[in-house]
Homo-oligomer: A and B are copies of this chain.
Amino acid sequence: MSVTISRREIILQEAAHLFREKSYPGANLRELARRAGIQGGSIYHHFASKQEILFQLMDNTMSDMIERLTERLSDADSPLEKLRRTVFFHIEYHVTGPDQTYITDEELRNLETENYLMVVAKRDRYQKIIENILSEGQVEQGWQLDEPKLYSRALIKMCAGVSTWFKPQGDLTIAQIAEAYTKLFCNGLLPR
């Protein structure tokens, strides 16, 4: 039943946590190594540089997000159902792996050019999926949106923001928040 987890994986997990706590430049490798249970220099057995750790972290996260979202949407028929699942997924993913998503959302500026371009490309692919759902709804269901891109951005920021205040032991579940946000996004707050 126990899952074997490589040291490399441990380092990546601890790095996500540490980078979120102190930001990438503020985190140091000796501290990271300590948390991963090894000595400072040993990090370089698993990664070529501090930068590579950041890149792997962000690139893995983006790939995973695209893959999982795509899978969740695969058997959704209507645009509304797709939107529901996207809101739920985006919130859930950000709340479940808050360290990884936070880093991926906020540390783009600390990526070197080549790495930056790769991660941004994947981020754009992810955003495009959501934008397409809104465009679909606009055409097929007459959703009221002038600029799909504008609204997809609003949706993404809105949902991602949940992880900054969400507490698992709080009185709201992820499902409740996702439902409320879906309702808000679809109906607005004025009475119908």
Binding site for B on A (CB under 8 A): 21-26, 106, 109-110, 134, 137, 141-147, 150-151, 153-154, 156-158, 160-162, 164-165, 172, 177, 180-181, 183-192
- Which residues from B are CB-within-8-Å of A161? 153-154, 156-158
A181 to B23, CA, bound (A): 31
Given contacts A150-B177, A180-B150, contact A191 B144 (CB under 8 A): yes
A72 to B146, CA, bound (A): 27
CB-CB nearest in chain B for A187: B188
Cβ–Cβ contact A186 & B190, under 8 A: yes
- Which residues from B are CB-within-8-Å of A22? 25, 109-110
- Which residues from B are CB-within-8-Å of A153? 161-162, 165
Cβ–Cβ contact B189 & A144, under 8 A: yes
A176 to B154, CA, bound (A): 14
Cβ–Cβ contact B191 & A188, under 8 A: no
A184 to B151, CA, bound (A): 8
Interface CB pairs A-B, < 8 A, 6: A21-B109, A22-B25, A26-B26, A144-B192, A153-B161, A184-B185
- Which residues from B are CB-within-8-Å of A187? 144, 187-188, 190
- Which residues from B are CB-within-8-Å of A190? 141, 143-144, 186-187
Question: How far in angstroms is the closest Cβ of chain B from A95?
Answer: 13
